[in-house]
Structure 1
Amino acid sequence: MGGGGQLSGSVEPGSGRDSGVFTWEEVQKHSSRTDQWLVINRKVYNITQWVKRHPGGSRVISHYAGEDATEAFTAFHPDLNFVRKFLKPLLIGELAAAEPSQDPNKNIAIIQDFERLRVQAEKDGLFKTKPLFFCLHLGHILLLEILAWTLVWLWGTGWTVTLLCAALLATSQAQAGWLQHDFGHLSVFRKSKWNHLVHKFVIGHLKGASANWWNHRHFQHHAKPNIFRKDPDINVMDVFVLGNTQPVEYGIKKIKKMPYNRQHEYFFLLGPPLLIPVFYNFNIFYTMITRRDWVDLSWAMTYYIRYYFCFVPLYGFWGSFALQLFARFLESHWFVWVTQMNHLPMEMEHEKRQDWMTTQLLSTCNVEQSFFNDWFSGHLNFQIEHHLFPRMPRHNYHLVAPQVRALCEKHGIPYEMKSLWRGMVDVVRSLKKSGDLWLDAYLHK
């Protein structure tokens, strides 16, 4: 086994030669920004030079440096044989025969049982799409857009009609957000290229945003949910402290960039109202311009051209701008509550390198199923199933949920289900709890 280290020293990065036999200890040493190895199905790959060319972004694959990425690799890629062509030149060896197939820190029994469940779901056709579902979903988004404009065209720009128009536009934007999420996860078409193309249309033309920006952020979130410095969704730039660990760390270090013991109150001023109309809008355009992503920028501009072409004749430029800003304001509330109720009250920690199923279950919870909850959340009330099977079409989440729940019971993993109201209330409760932990540590430690 000791020969693994000597062999690795002679391996040329990206040589593609099956040159070495390695231990887990040796693999785990290669987890820095400038030296990255990972394991997939017992094969060891040097991805150091390739991470910048990774279609899903450099960070998401770098988050698995020094560990086994088999489960994530399987979860994210619909055509594994196609992706293996890119892996072949990066192969530098394999795990020694005496080494376990998985990182010793991970629960092998859970990994094996979950893989059997995933394979059975494939056999049961749960990864197959119902085209009519997504056609109807797109149709109702377009209908809402047309109805919003028609109301103003027919009945004028009075306050009542304008408020109703804004509500319809916010609804269409929220539902388009759930739809782009489906295409972004490659869960609609069999071929990835068609998912990517329609994704650019939905997020670009229907929402004025960037597919590449979304991919870069969202796949990191799925790869390492609620893990500090890896999940961008919990990088709140010191405006909030989250979970049980971070508040204590900030309190001990006497960090007080905000009055965190009051964060459950100022959340209502900074979170739901500002995330989409201020932070996301600025970040999206800044990213597209600085990265010279002219394709996504062109798609986004078609949204703005269409919107202002339709509404400037009715409201004028500044009236149209105000209407759009107010619709974004309403959409932002909708988006924040739906996305945060599944994650914010759950465990938030530093990297523990746990197995895929345990990682996803500790960081996600479900909201009860109903026709309204499914529509309102874009089926993200089934957040557990979505995180376990990110490529599964959302109309099948409820079919796999009983099997997931049974597997959780077998291994003693909490499967948390809430009402919609309790999910929202728990967002505020978790912020207050974290703020209290910070204050206690700040004053007494």
Structure 2
Amino acid sequence: MPPNTVSDVLTNSTRSVITEDKFQELIKQGDKLFVYESKVYKVNNFIAKHPGGEAALASALGRDVTDEIRSMHPPKVYEKMINLYYLGDYMPNMPAPKTAFKKTKQQQNIQQQQKEPVLELTWEGGMSVKAYDDAIEELYKHHAKDLVQDLKAQQDLDNVKIREAYRKLEQEIHTRGLFKCNYYKYAKEGCRYASLLFLSLWFTLYGTQTWHYMVGAAFLAGFWHQLVFAAHDAGHNGITGKSEIDHIIGIIIADFIGGLSIGWWKDNHNVHHIVTNHPEHDPDIQHLPFLAITNKFFNNIYSTYYKRVIPFDAASKLFIRYQHYMYYLVLSFGRFNLHRLSFVYLFTAKNVRNRMLELSGITFFFIWFSALLSTLPSWNIRIAYIFVSYMLTFPLHVQITLSHFGMSTEDKGPNEPFPAKMLRTTMDVDCPEWLDWFHGGLQYQAVHHLFPRIPRHNLRDCVPLVRQFCDEVGLHYYMYNFSTGNGVVLGTLKSVADQVTFMKEVAKNNADIWAGEKQHAH
């Protein structure tokens, strides 16, 4: 029987110790392993059952994901349930001790004088130029190796400092009660949702002119836009804190009212939270052929989420050259694409949670929306109504992409602390408090990525604490106003577009040279 508590594990005299070499060997053999709190867990039989989606857990395998697990799961998961999959204690490979750290400065100077020649900028005394160069190269290699080791040791200390400060920050947020949901603010939002829906139905059902119907479509877009924030909370188990209940709430909001799959969103979004802005792993930045935020997409990268190569083909080269002009237009079609992604997920993905309920919900959506469209006087107005109600949700897609499209896409390896990665790849958007309703409170995406389980109504209160944390550990906290943030994103898109244009000009120039040489040869 597996141990039931951490104390059971610690008192088990037969517990195994898994070194880094053994850890890597087991992974090569096909075992699904990760490290949490210096312990190794094997999830071969659980990965397909993971409530947050198989892809999310797969993206965490093979490394230490202590902070990721703590940030995205309630305590009962990482304090009790996880122990069912305990395999052994983790022991990283320890570097050989450096005696240089134990020597005084005077001892180091004496050793330097005794063992290392003093080389001056002269070749007198019989030392040839080659011998001089070889000696300089040898000294450089010796000192460079020590310098790299010193820098790595310092980086390890900095990483420990960041992780410890992050835990203290989490505890401070808990102490202040910011992980608790504010249901009063949900009541206020409920009134806003009802008002938008009422205005939409009133203009649509009782309108007599075309502009009445278009206003109704605009209010419906606003209703969907605002309702997505509540679906987001349900997807993060941030409403009741109970996975099953919040998942059903999410299905009602996303599937029955919005026609989109909450299961797809959770499967996609949880991966995004773990490997934020990684070109090969994060599906939220994989938008070829229409958008590319880094030239890494020029290399036909393999998407570990979609399990296919994302080609940088002729269509991509065409669209990416003009992406900074087409950014808002492309995003205005985002809701149509979400329907496509929802159906692909529900019909093709394995182990979909509540698959039939979601399909029933989306079917119900198309029934009620079709009934609403049937009340309109002509097909031209119906088509216009669809495009207006769908395309005016584009501010939501701008808000979603704004916090990441202009940020780093660099891979700094598995040892980068989770909070450092989140703050490097995410920006916050500053706005007056009275405008929080428009952004749903999720304009503080950096705070949200640090602590996904904090209800979005409390994110603003966490900003001063995150600023203080960043000052203490030396991390940069990116926050811009809405217009500046848009400028940062457009600048990133233009930079990538310019590189495509440059590549085309180089190719054209080479082709002209080749044609000229061929003609000259004839």
What TM-score, normalized to structure 2?
0.74
Residues in 2 aligned to 1:241 and 1:307: alpha-carbon distance in whole angstroms: 34
Q: Which residue pairs with 1:288 in the alignment?
A: 346
Per-residue CA deviations over 1:93-114 (Å, capped at 9, x if unaligned) read 01139879xx969811101100
Larger Rg: 2
Q: Which residue pairs with 2:134 in the alignment?
A: none
Find out whether 1:137 has 2:189 as its counterpart. yes
Q: Which residue pairs with 1:272 in the alignment?
A: 331
Find out whether 1:95 has 2:90 as its counterpart. yes
Q: What's the C-alpha RMSD, in Å, of the aligned pairs?
A: 3.0
Quick check: 2:196–2:222 contact (8 Å CA) kept in 1? yes
Q: Which residue pairs with 1:6 in the alignment?
A: none
In the alignment, which of 368, 383, 407 is matched to residue 306 of structure 1? 368
Summarize the Cα distance change of 1:432–1:81 in structure 2 as closer, same or farther, 3 Å threshold: same
Quick check: 1:308–1:317 contact (8 Å CA) kept in 2? no
Per-residue CA deviations over 1:285-315 (Å, capped at 9, x if unaligned) read 2222334721111122222223333442344
Find out whether 1:193 has 2:244 as its counterpart. yes
Q: Which residue pairs with 1:431 in the alignment?
A: 493
Q: Which residue pairs with 1:4 in the alignment?
A: none
In the alignment, which of 211, 230, 249 is matched to residue 281 of structure 2? 230
Pairwise CA distance, 1:235: 1.3
Residues in 2 aligned to 1:272 and 1:81: alpha-carbon distance in whole angstroms: 39
Summarize the Cα distance change of 1:191–1:27 in structure 2 as closer, same or farther, 3 Å threshold: same
1:363-442 alignment to 2 at 5 Å? 363-371=425-433, 373-440=435-502
Gaps of 5+ in 1: 1-15
Summarize the Cα distance change of 1:382–1:52 in structure 2 as closer, same or farther, 3 Å threshold: same
1:210-359 alignment to 2 at 5 Å? 210-243=261-294, 245-246=296-297, 257-259=316-318, 260-269=320-329, 271-277=330-336, 279-291=337-349, 293-315=355-377, 319-320=381-382, 322-331=384-393, 333-350=394-411, 352-353=413-414, 354-359=416-421
Counterpart residue identity of residue 327, structure 2: F
Residues in 2 aligned to 1:37 and 1:28: alpha-carbon distance in whole angstroms: 9
In the alignment, which of 260, 266, 275 is matched to residue 209 of structure 1? 260
Quick check: 2:70–2:78 contact (8 Å CA) kept in 1? no
Q: Which residue pairs with 1:3 in the alignment?
A: none
Residues in 1 aligned to 2:313 and 2:454: alpha-carbon distance in whole angstroms: 42
Residues in 2 aligned to 1:299 and 1:217: alpha-carbon distance in whole angstroms: 19
Pairwise CA distance, 1:49: 3.3
Q: Which residue pairs with 2:76 in the alignment?
A: 81
Quick check: 1:308–1:320 contact (8 Å CA) kept in 2? no
Counterpart residue identity of residue 218, structure 2: A
Pairwise CA distance, 1:268: 4.1
Per-residue CA deviations over 1:221-262 (Å, capped at 9, x if unaligned) read 111110122211011234433236545899xx9965423333
Quick check: 1:106–1:355 contact (8 Å CA) kept in 2? no
Quick check: 1:17–1:92 contact (8 Å CA) kept in 2? no
Pairwise CA distance, 1:351: 5.9
What TM-score, normalized to structure 1?
0.86
**Secondary structure of the corresponding residue to residue 87 of structure 2:** strand
Summarize the Cα distance change of 1:422–1:366 in structure 2 as closer, same or farther, 3 Å threshold: same
Residues in 2 aligned to 1:134 and 1:33: alpha-carbon distance in whole angstroms: 49
Pairwise CA distance, 1:395: 1.4
Summarize the Cα distance change of 1:98–1:425 in structure 2 as closer, same or farther, 3 Å threshold: closer
In the alignment, which of 64, 68, 73 is matched to residue 72 of structure 1? 68
Quick check: 1:226–1:363 contact (8 Å CA) kept in 2? yes
**Secondary structure of the corresponding residue to residue 258 of structure 1:** helix
Pairwise CA distance, 1:318: 7.4
**Secondary structure of the corresponding residue to residue 35 of structure 1:** coil
Quick check: 2:409–2:425 contact (8 Å CA) kept in 1? yes
Q: Which residue pairs with 1:42 in the alignment?
A: 38
Residues in 1 aligned to 2:263 and 2:271: alpha-carbon distance in whole angstroms: 13
**Secondary structure of the corresponding residue to residue 408 of structure 2:** coil
Quick check: 1:209–1:300 contact (8 Å CA) kept in 2? yes
Summarize the Cα distance change of 1:214–1:17 in structure 2 as closer, same or farther, 3 Å threshold: farther
